[in-house]
Amino acid sequence: MEVHMRLGIVGMLPGNFRTFTKEQMEAIRGLEFTGFGFHFSSDDVFDVTTEDCEKYNQFMAGEGLDLVQFALTYSECLFDPDPAIRASIIRKINRGLEIARQINAHSCLIRPGSLNPDGAWTSHRDNHLPESMERLIETLTPIAQKADAEGVTIIVETHAVSIMDSPETCKAVVDAVGLDSLRIVMDFVNHFQTLQQVYNSTDRLNHIFNVMGPIAPVAHVKDIKVENGLVLHINEEMPGEGELDLVQALRRFDGLYPDGYGLIEHLPMEKIPLANANVRRIAAESGIDIH
Whichever domain contains 205, its CATH number is: 3.20.20.150
The length of the chain is 291
Q: Which helix (H) or strand (E) holds 165?
A: none
Number of H helices, E strands in the chain: 9, 10
The verdict on residue 196 lying in a domain is yes
The verdict on residue 290 lying in a domain is no
pTM: 0.95
**In this structure, what are the phi and psi dihedrals at residue 7, rounded to the nearest 5 degrees?**
-125, 130
Give the residue among 85, 67, 68 at the shortest CA–CA distance from 76: 85
Expressed as residue numbers, the domain containing 195 is 6-285
Rounded Cα distance, 258 and 217, in Å = 10
Domain count, the chain: 1
Rounded Cα distance, 98 and 104, in Å = 10
The verdict on residue 155 lying in a domain is yes
The verdict on residue 1 lying in a domain is no
Residues 85-96: pLDDT tens digits? 999 999 999 999
The verdict on residue 227 lying in a domain is yes
The verdict on residue 95 lying in a domain is yes
**In this structure, what are the phi and psi dihedrals at residue 132, rounded to the nearest 5 degrees?**
-65, -45
40 forms bridges with which residues in the sheet? 72
The predicted structure's pLDDT at residue 120: 93
What string of pLDDT tens digits covers the 291 residues of the chain? 466 899 999 999 999 999 999 999 999 999 999 999 999 999 999 999 999 999 999 999 999 999 999 999 999 999 999 999 999 999 999 999 999 999 999 999 999 999 999 999 999 999 999 999 999 999 999 999 999 999 999 999 999 999 999 999 999 999 999 999 999 999 999 999 999 999 999 999 999 999 999 999 999 999 999 999 888 999 999 999 999 999 999 999 999 999 999 999 999 999 999 999 999 999 998 899 898
Rounded Cα distance, 255 and 287, in Å = 11
The predicted structure's pLDDT at residue 93: 99
Task: List, in order, residues 6 or more apart from 174 with CB less than 8 Å away.
Answer: 182, 183, 184, 215
Give the residue among 134, 50, 131 at the shortest CA–CA distance from 95: 50
Cβ-in-10-Å burial (0-12, 13-18, 19+) of 224 comes to buried
Rounded Cα distance, 100 and 190, in Å = 25
DSSP state of 43: G
The predicted structure's pLDDT at residue 2: 61
Give the residue among 152, 153, 147, 173 at the shortest CA–CA distance from 162: 173
The verdict on residue 127 lying in a domain is yes
Spatial contact of 164 and 158, defined as CB atoms under 8 Å apart: yes
